[in-house]
A and B are shown apart, each in its own frame.
Chain A
Amino acid sequence: MEIFVDVVLLSMLVATAVALILVRGLMASIMLTSIYGLLSASFFVTMDAVDVAFTEAAVGAGVAPLLLLMTVALVGRREERTVSRHALVPLLLVTMTGALLIVGTLDMPPFGSADAPANQHVSPRYLQHTEAEIGIPNVVTAVLASYRAYDTLGEALVIFTAGVAVILILVPGDGRGTAQATLPDPISGDRQGIVHVVSKILIPFVLLFALYVQFHGDYGPGGGFQAGVIFASAFILYGLLCGLPAVVRVIPPTVVEVLAALGVLLYAVTGVLSLLGGKNFLDYSVLASDPVTGQHIGIIVIELGVGICVASVIIRIYYAFAAHLDRQRV
């Protein structure tokens, strides 16, 4: 039965990928990208990787297509038709790369095999010792936030850097910290519309769900990355409904920028604190008298840092795009 689900999902993934190549309109490409994200998320669920699936559903199917849509709103929805007579060379290259990749997979152990290197090296140790050393049920969170906390710090820094890069590229020099809050609301005449009313009912619950995902990450799928994206999406929804000025009144861009830096700082300071306690960087056992409690505190704090960083970076990127759109419209 599961193989049937896998076959259907993978065929749909291939079909979506082919459609993505063939389709010309940029709007349709973005919708297909979103569908691709949702399908991959479903596929990750069948592989029992629920944490990854959660991230993919939130980012790949949710926020990323939204940012792409805003880009299309900026650049126009038609792709320029490139008439290239040298299609043979790229085709040859792509075919060869694809063939090499397929040859490469032939040597890989089958999925879930017990003698796969991934299942022999550190995984058994993590699985056996998480209960005693970290004391939380979700091993993924334990690996991500404690055993491999250094890697996760790198990921948080990557997101922070991406946010900084977007600000540098999209926000004009004199406009740092302001997101053009002078324009009138784009749809102010429709305050009582169905979409408005329903969204206003739902936004608090979206925020509540983000907090649940944030602080329940030790026990179930979830954590800072997913929670940050969901939190940011609530703000983006509000911005799409009521216009940029309204959402800027809730959190000004300056605050968002400071929060993004604070999130990463919170993470790094936790590492420094464990250094000061005489242990390795990001070894949380010094944070409390009982090492397991220390691990709990450390994981919650660094997940909070990641959540704050991700949410603020995504909100800031949305501000940058939306301000650009508003300027273009004037």
Chain B
Amino acid sequence: MSTALHLISDAFLLAGSFLLLTGALGFLRFPDVFSRIHACGVTETLATSLILLALIMKSESAMPQVKLLMILLFLMFSSPTAGHALAKAAWNAGVRPRDNRNERGIPVPPDNL
């Protein structure tokens, strides 16, 4: 286990945590459902990937590394899909985007997506 690898994994951990923090901030501050899903969904996928990669670098033996890699693969599938399903459900339930001034008049693509 070299020092360089340690440093890289530390940097990955920090970057991942920072991204999660920005996601949480976006969730609290953004005006409507869709931008909030965007804030959480996009940052979460990248942040958890970074954190898991850092953990893979940090772990010493092969078995935990393989397991973490599988979790990473699963997250790559599941978390964007969850975000997509959430947004689609909101859209189908009649929720429409809204801007900073609480107006819903933003031009949107036609309904038959």
Contact = CB atoms under 8 A, between A and B. Distances in A.
Interface of A: 193-195, 198-199, 201-202, 205
A238 to B, nearest CB: 15
A199 B82 CA distance: 10
B84 interface: yes
Contacts, number: 17
Query: Chain A's interface: helix, strand, loop or mixed, by majority?
Result: helix
B84 A202 contact: no
| Leading 6 A-B pairs by shortest Cβ distance | A198-B81, A195-B85, A194-B84, A198-B77, A195-B81, A202-B77
Query: Chain B's interface: helix, strand, loop or mixed, by majority?
Result: helix
17 contacts: A193-B88, A194-B81, A194-B84, A194-B85, A195-B81, A195-B84, A195-B85, A195-B88, A198-B77, A198-B78, A198-B81, A199-B81, A201-B77, A202-B74, A202-B77, A202-B78, A205-B74
A205 B71 CA distance: 12
Given A198-B78, A198-B81, A202-B78, 9 more contacts: A193-B88, A194-B81, A194-B84, A194-B85, A198-B77, A199-B81, A201-B77, A202-B77, A205-B74
Interface in B38-88: 74, 77-78, 81, 84-85, 88
Contacts of B81: 194-195, 198-199
Contacts of B88: 193, 195
Nearest to A197: B81
A216 B56 CA distance: 23
A293 to B, nearest CB: 26
Residue of B74, B81, B84, B85 ringed by the most chain A CB atoms within 10 A: B81
A202 B78 CA distance: 9
Contacts of B78: 198, 202
A193 B92 CA distance: 14
Contacts of A202: 74, 77-78
B38 to A, nearest CB: 16
B74 to A, nearest CB: 8
A194 B88 CA distance: 10
A315 B74 CA distance: 24
Nearest to B89: A195
